[in-house]
Amino acid sequence: MDPVIQVDERVDVVTIFYGHAQERMVCVPWKMKYRGQEIVFTVFGMRHPTARGRRMIHVFDMSDGSNDYRLEFDAESLTWQLVSRLEGSQYVR
């Protein structure tokens, strides 16, 4: 059984901009509001841009130390989508 829970819901996200960081870390999600709960990210897993048709989508894998989350930022519509979550963080050792 696949432990990944598919969510596919639009969420509110607060980002942090680091002016002098590496390109992949210039803008990262800091926290999000999901179903009335505020989740603060403590671990940055990865970020990769991808094209979906003519749209540029930035995919972020983040963790709050307990669970992992995959977020997508649509650079055209300027919206955040929580794609999936995985209970029990894979990033924290």
Residues 59, 28: Cα–Cα separation, whole Å: 10
- 56: amino acid identity, one letter: M
- Higher pLDDT, residue 19 or 78: 78
Percent of the chain with pLDDT over 70: 88
Q: What is the mean predicted confidence (pLDDT) over 33-39?
A: 95
Kindly report, residue by residue over 24-34, the tens digit of the pLDDT: 667 889 999 99
For residues 64-93, average pLDDT: 89
**Total-model pTM:** 0.87
What band does 21 get if pLDDT is binned at 50, 70 and 90?
Answer: low
Sheet holding 55-63, edge to edge: 4-10, 79-87, 67-74, 55-63, 43-52
Whole-number average pLDDT of the chain: 89
Number of H-type helices and E-type strands within the chain: 0, 8
